[in-house]
Structure 1
Amino acid sequence: MLHPIESSTRSANVAVRRTPAAPAGGGTQQLDHLDDNPWHSGAACRRDEAGLFFAPSKEPTAARLAREEQAKQVCARCPVLLECREHALAQPEPYGVWGGLTAAERRVVLARRRRRESELRVTAPRRIAG
């Protein structure tokens, strides 16, 4: 079973490894270190069972909550927790525990960010060209 950082799409029964996205906003800045030493190479979840991070079909609620809590405990000791979380928010990853957050928790974070960005655009002072 693949870990969160190696989750896959299946095409002709071949697993395709998903890699982190480039930083938002594009620009000319390149993250050369991603090829040499990707952030996920040091992830704590690489040593744990991937089933801990992704729900099996028809998982009972109590079992899901217990499994997610165990996954979050792995994330809590992870040296790349923030990088993983930002990756999952930037993608956005629709399933599993990433960066210590469930999919539902990530949706809340993204909604808050959108609301905050919207509020900042409305309250930002406008400059008058002169």
Structure 2
Amino acid sequence: MLRGLTTVSLFADDVAAAVRWYAEVLGVEPYFERSAGGAPAYVEFRVGDHQHELGIVDSRFAPHPHPGTAGGVVVYWHVDDIEAAFGRLLSLGATAHDKPTERGPGFVTASVIDPFGNVLGVMYNRHYLEMLDR
């Protein structure tokens, strides 16, 4: 069955702009790029404690058309300070999708829509921290 997160793919019409935005958000440069027709078609970052893959894919290669509104599955990335992370994403041009909300003791989620129409979730998750301690 499911053994772990391998790659989260986000889609953008302007891959170069999305890469610049995510490099600013993540504080790292991408480690991999594949071009098509001289322009970046797929760019990948390594993110976080487990170096998960975050890929930016040219919208031309999306397996299904973009519905025009952000929605669907939300992938949450652990952050240590949910309010600061949410505020920073907004200051970088994202729009609020779901404001910070406590889901139970030690679990707070929030999400934004990035400038390219993708939902990006952030979460303070005590289980994540407990897993790191083990």
* TM-score when normalising by structure 2: 0.29
Structure with the greater alpha carbon radius of gyration: 1
* TM-score when normalising by structure 1: 0.29
Name the structure with the higher helix share.
Answer: 1
Name the structure with the higher strand share.
Answer: 2
